[in-house]
Structure 1
């Protein structure tokens, strides 16, 4: 099978490419023209193409049997993320149809879920975000619409679609996770320290995408990707500090206190800045719920459908991370936050967002779907 992978040069993508190659398939990695000459992935072909430019996609799809769609925009304002993620996906789907390619494995996200609707467990039956979607951050809005567009296309074209929704993906170079807590000077504040974290080690996650291509049972399935081992936020943070030599003091903060603080900050912001005040992401109640709410995260459907099992346990995965960081001469302890977190501006209330432009585009998508 010849497989086109979008986002194949990224953190998850490189591992997905390796997993697909290991199963005997050939891989084409779609890379923006400005970067194509610099990207080298052993065993894979690199094709220049930009999801924002439809005319650049046809050549990359020549002879392709299936597509693994990982690409999504994680930085920039809400309108930028929406355009790059959703409109880029529309362009890809149109090019796939023109090329006669109707097998798609799509990478969604836990951000599409309505975390208020989850009770003790969050699984594939949990409702998706809808009525309060535009109160979420730009990434959640874009990923939710991206999945909607993919599903509508698959239904309209009788395509063979699999949707995978990974939890928080971690691995070498990306050990710090937004679902754990917040560093404040010498303190490592852990929100809801005893709760289970919905994490998956990047190599384990990549295997799920490769398996989904080969399993007939995966067609039509929606699967959450979470590792077997249940790791609390406190344990993850402690292992992070120990493995990377981070000299900070772990401090627990109950989930209820975090939510109360966020609600209070929201009320104060609205009273002082009626036209829209800025709040850091950790104080946005909807975002805090999606990151820190205490739930169980079963992966039974993933294992039953794909026959998947994680190759690496939590301790073994950390061994691999430390070795890889050393090999790459990465001083992870000096990195204060993930790249996307550092670049992102302070979160804004809905009145300050680029919601009008997003809403117009959303309406266009809805009208097209029902035309």
Structure 2
């Protein structure tokens, strides 16, 4: 990753000031060095591949605390941007049943979801809000949907899972909350630079979002074909309920990998809005969904990706 960053920084004009600092955000000294003279901090670090709750907490929550404490000591920060995730939403008890926007509730008991990433991102937002209020640091939270693009090969679990040998298509007619990587990075950058948006939360999703069924069909057509079995929503909900109950009965011998909280978050029929991001920040997706999918499928086909 460091080599890739160095290569990217080399593409900038000679007058661009790009400085790479190699360090560990678990180190207070490294955080002091990274935040020195920083006017805006975009905090993207997260243990996305971590399955351990302690590791995910350490790499998302403790690092956030260390950065904010260092920024407070240096006293030059004008805005802290926490890059969170759609995974924090419970997708239950919403004012508008099908619509998920920034007003929707965050998961109140993230540990029950059985996902360390969800748990860590919820706790990260909490500590960012707490410390930014404590130290009077202007703060913005951005919550990207599923970020896709060249180099990302794995099919999102919002479409389905291959845990049991055959690919189980769970998304069906659901809309997928996709955002192309270039569009997402533009939105994050604007959230740190736009005046008058402190204290806001912004969801990041593109326009013209595909359904899970359409996406899977295009994936098979453009990347590779494989057998899949569609599981209707009622059936998937019942299966998650039974799995959850058996996990409780076995006292955790069967991990609660599938449960009703996860079903609501990933497989409940939901619509998404990017209106607040557009109207408040002035963002618009430069890469259309059709073009983004074309680039993504082309990259997957080149790399021999599989579900």
TM-score by length of 1: 0.73
Choose from 44, 47, 50 the match for 1:70: 44
Partner of 2:126: 148
Are the counterparts in 1 of residues 209 and 289 from structure 2 also a CA contact under 8 Å? Answer: no
Task: Look up the SS of the partner of 2:139 in the other structure.
Answer: strand
Give the distance between the partners of 1:234 and 1:38, measured in 2 at CA.
34
Partner of 1:22: none
Moved more, 174-183 or 225-234: 174-183
Deviation track 1:18-58 (CA, whole Å, cap 9, x = no partner) reads xxxxxxxxxxxxxxxxxx57752324421012111111122
Choose from 71, 74, 88 the match for 1:96: 71
What CA RMSD, in Å, does the superposition of the two structures yield over aligned residues? 2.1
Choose from 266, 271, 287 the match for 1:312: 287
Are the counterparts in 2 of residues 194 and 234 from structure 1 also a CA contact under 8 Å? Answer: yes
Are the counterparts in 1 of residues 174 and 211 from structure 2 also a CA contact under 8 Å? Answer: yes
Task: Look up the SS of the partner of 2:271 in the other structure.
Answer: coil
Choose from 198, 207, 217 the match for 2:186: 207
Task: Look up the SS of the partner of 2:21 in the other structure.
Answer: strand
Give the distance between the partners of 1:140 and 1:291, measured in 2 at CA.
12
Partner of 1:51: 25
Shift of 1:199: 1.4
Are the counterparts in 2 of residues 186 and 247 from structure 1 also a CA contact under 8 Å? Answer: no
Q: How does 1:94-173 map to 2 (within 5 A)?
A: 94-100=69-75, 101-118=77-94, 119-130=97-108, 132-136=109-113, 137-173=115-151
Is 1:332 aligned to 2:305, yes or no?
yes
The 1:268–1:185 alpha-carbon spacing in structure 2 relative to 1, beyond 3 Å, is: closer
The 1:270–1:160 alpha-carbon spacing in structure 2 relative to 1, beyond 3 Å, is: closer
Shift of 1:314: 1.8
Give the distance between the partners of 2:222 and 2:87, measured in 1 at CA.
28
Give the distance between the partners of 2:105 and 2:138, measured in 1 at CA.
23
Give the distance between the partners of 1:58 and 1:267, measured in 2 at CA.
47
Deviation track 1:314-352 (CA, whole Å, cap 9, x = no partner) reads 2211232345557xx52223xx4xxxxxxxxxxxxxxxx
Q: Which runs of 5+ in 2 are unaligned?
A: 13-17
Are the counterparts in 1 of residues 141 and 201 from structure 2 also a CA contact under 8 Å? Answer: yes
Task: Look up the SS of the partner of 1:147 in the other structure.
Answer: helix
Shift of 1:217: 3.4
Deviation above 6 Å: which 4+ runs of structure 1? Answer: none
Moved more, 108-117 or 142-151: 108-117
Shift of 1:188: 3.7
Shift of 1:169: 1.1
Give the distance between the partners of 1:323 and 1:134, measured in 2 at CA.
37
Give the distance between the partners of 2:117 and 2:304, measured in 1 at CA.
28
Are the counterparts in 1 of residues 247 and 256 from structure 2 also a CA contact under 8 Å? Answer: no
Moved more, 62-71 or 262-271: 262-271
Give the distance between the partners of 2:203 and 2:188, measured in 1 at CA.
11
Partner of 2:278: 303
Task: Look up the SS of the partner of 2:99 in the other structure.
Answer: coil
Partner of 1:21: none
Give the distance between the partners of 1:212 and 1:38, measured in 2 at CA.
25
Is 1:269 aligned to 2:247, yes or no?
yes
Between Structure 1 and Structure 2, how many residues are aligned?
Answer: 293
Task: Look up the SS of the partner of 1:276 in the other structure.
Answer: coil
